[in-house]
Structure 1
């Protein structure tokens, strides 16, 4: 019996020694992985604390192992399972990078001016979970690398995810300025400024881009003027040649030569007029074809920015603006504009609605009802100028609520009057 008990104790000692060896191996492996994670700044202090706590518990339980062999075996099994589970979680965290960690690592590389590495990290973050911030951050890295087209594309993707992300508008404005798209750059900066009117950086960006655009327009105008002046100069040279020829002939033939020159001049003027008329006709036809083509390509906007850019592009043509409005569902207006509607835009839309109210009353009233549901509508109405207020009152009385308006629509419009035409 004594020999059996001694053999049993030796077996248990060997088991425990094997367990300690396993523990040491696991600890060395864990330390190696810990060093790797620390080099990337991803080691979690909380997890380290949990591991240390588990180690302490294990040692404490091993120290009292002589209480009973069953208890020792139970503690060994339970703690080994616990640490194995903890190790599995740790390995899983190491082998499964998350989008946020990649983005933060990209930020660190950006601070170190390692823009290529930052782009790689942001790209992995986007692949794991695309966000407006990740796209905009990668765009900023592209700007630093002077890859302006990629920067513009990334900002557009960011705005597709969040159409009120000011940094994306600002960075796309910068990219477009570098690409020579000055008009589009101004539109981005202007829209960002509307979202955040007191942002001094965006104010500066808007002013600089606008100044560049105005210089470009001035240079084009100056070039056209110089070209015209050169043509005028050539005409003067031709006239002087004719005058010299006239002075060289005798007085008796001077009238004949002058008449011939005048006739030649008249013929040239006639041809110029015919050419001008022909050019104007071609221009009118081209404009008509362009207008038809634009009408075909009008698509429903998904954001306030898209709507406003399209609306401005069709400025001066109420027919095309009405078409843009009609391809946009009335019930979608509050979601499209959110809280980015401006007072001038609201008044202009109402003026456009007035142009097709008589032909499509039901649709026009639906637009008016849903515009009133746009966020901060009451605040927008308070910002109207006295001229716009007077214009709205006139439209309401002369167009929307005149004697020819059917009763079913007149009642709905009367209910809307207090919203659109508040008492002074």
Structure 2
């Protein structure tokens, strides 16, 4: 083991501490002399250091050494002065308390407030970044970094800086995410027009962006455009039926529209009353009540008719006035109703029209909703109506409403909004061709309607599902086209 591993711990041997008996007399005397000489040198050096001053001239200006005995003693004394005693004060200490002096100190602090430390204003950040010498990859990386800065500023509540960061990101690479985030920041700052323009840009890049639709609906709501807000919310709910925020905003818009409609109906009719004299009555009165002194009546020429008349009263009111004035002239007071502007009524009707039951229980309710949507061209309402009814009841509900215009409107709705649900679209098309008067209406379709039908069946033929096969789609298409 010694040859293989000389330093192995199993080879260690315990050696006792050396004592004077372990050394010879000469070795022990040498060790003792060296220790005595070292101790003498240390004492001499300490005496020299204590006798000499480290700072010759500036000894008074040098601060006290940290953690020296004198400094510690002064600190302890100050702490003892300010330390509150746990024992209650005696009444004699309260007699020594000078109230006026303490009040003077408080007044002095109020008149001389401490200086406020103000930081210098930050430099203005440029709203754009020059990207002439950057590659596409560098632009993307820099735009992503600026967008992340904007997200951090938005989370911290600094919305103005977030707008600047998003603008810098868009100056490099325009993206739907940056436009969308900047729109939300404008909404927090209540900049409605800027938020609306950013939402429009997002929808140009991504027409099915749910966040942009929801934010545009919020902007329209604050701008008072209830109909536009309602349309955007319906589009959101068609794509995400369980969107809680969209449902909440839609309920608020519905309540606002209902309140405005009730307030308008509570207001009575405005009556415009104008007082003027009837020239014919005044003329007859002068003819009958101005005789000469000799008993003969003067011939008085009738008064000229007025050239302009502000408000023409109704004949009934004039006749009643003449019948009830046998003794003398009376003034005619016409009363005319002042109707509200047609634009406001149309706007209220347009806002209140979509708020109908979209889950009909019979053909009458289905016909009411379908006719209202068709009259206003509201494809979203028709799409939600078709989503809420079973396919097998569609022929029964539509049998009394099926004509060329209604059928064309339904085909456009199915092609635009129900292509995302191919199984429901196929079931509706399958049961729709069994409706009454279907063959007659089919002959009245124009080229645009047939194009819509071709697009529907082309989208269904591409879908791979177990509900129907391409042969089923082909056979169904032959019944339409």
TM-score (norm. length: structure 2): 0.38
* Structure with more of its chain in helix, by fraction: 1
